[in-house]
């Protein structure tokens, strides 16, 4: 019997979609649906309105795959620059050490310029198309901007708090692993 993605089923259970979960698991176990299909259905259910079409989910996946190499390398470089002796530092050190001799200037230009540019263009075009064609999307964006404008001080306070917590967490991890 095929088992659906565990994290997706947990999310559906935790957010109160037990009936939908049963239907999705049943459909998945018939064998004619992929794990990707199950994740798309999960994300659509968790999103208010419950609709994520195949085209949008493919664009979403493509964008994340395009920026993943840059995220991994830059994250590893940041962890490596903090120093330390822990597992995270050693993994980051290995990634940076492997990348330096194996990535040419052209490869670096592709990873740090061309691929993020493709993400920027693809995301912008998708946004503009959605803005022109979807009145509900426009209304949601304008409502969100209104909420942000009314609560700007709290938004900035929240951002500063989260950044402070992240810095504190990084320092604690660094101190523990040294």
CA atoms within 13 A on the CB side of 66: 18
Please report, for the chain, the start and end positions of each structural domain, with discontinuous segments joined by +: 1-52, 54-133, 135-178
Biggest CA–CA distance in the chain, Å, is 54
Q: What is the pLDDT of residue 48?
A: 60
Contact indicator for 70, 112 with CB cutoff of 8 Å: yes
Q: What is the pLDDT of residue 81?
A: 86
Q: Where are the alpha helices (DSSP H) in the chain?
A: 6-14, 18-29, 35-46, 54-82, 87-102, 105-109, 115-133, 135-150, 152-177
**Cα dihedral 107/110/112/116 (nearest 10):** -160
Contact indicator for 43, 60 with CB cutoff of 8 Å: no
Q: What is the pLDDT of residue 116?
A: 95
Q: What is the pLDDT of residue 67?
A: 95
With a cut of 70, list the residues of the chain below it in pLDDT.
48-53, 178
User: What burial letters (b/e) apply to 30-61, b meaning 16+ CB within 10 Å?
Assistant: eeebeeebbbbbbbbbeeeeeebeeeebebee
Q: Can you give the pTM of this predicted structure? A: 0.61
């Amino acid at each position: 019997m095929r088992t659906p993605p565990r994290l997706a089923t947990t999310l559906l259970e935790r957010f109160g979609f037990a009936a939908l979960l049963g239907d999705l698991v049943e459909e998945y176990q018939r064998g004619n649906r992929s794990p990707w299909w199950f994740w798309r259905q999960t994300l659509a259910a968790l999103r208010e309105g419950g609709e994520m079409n195949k085209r949008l989910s493919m664009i979403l996946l493509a964008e994340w795959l395009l920026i993943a190499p840059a995220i991994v390398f830059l994250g590893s470089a940041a962890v490596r620059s903090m120093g330390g002796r822990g597992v995270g530092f050693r993994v980051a050190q290995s990634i940076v050490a492997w990348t330096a001799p194996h990535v040419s200037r052209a490869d670096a230009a592709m990873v740090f310029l061309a691929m993020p540019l493709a993400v920027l263009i693809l995301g912008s075009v998708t946004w503009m198309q959605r803005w022109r064609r979807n009145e509900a999307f426009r209304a949601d964006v304008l409502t969100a901007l209104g909420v942000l404008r009314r609560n700007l001080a709290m938004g900035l306070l929240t951002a500063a708090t989260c950044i402070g917590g992240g810095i504190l967490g990084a320092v604690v991890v660094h101190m523990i692993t040294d």
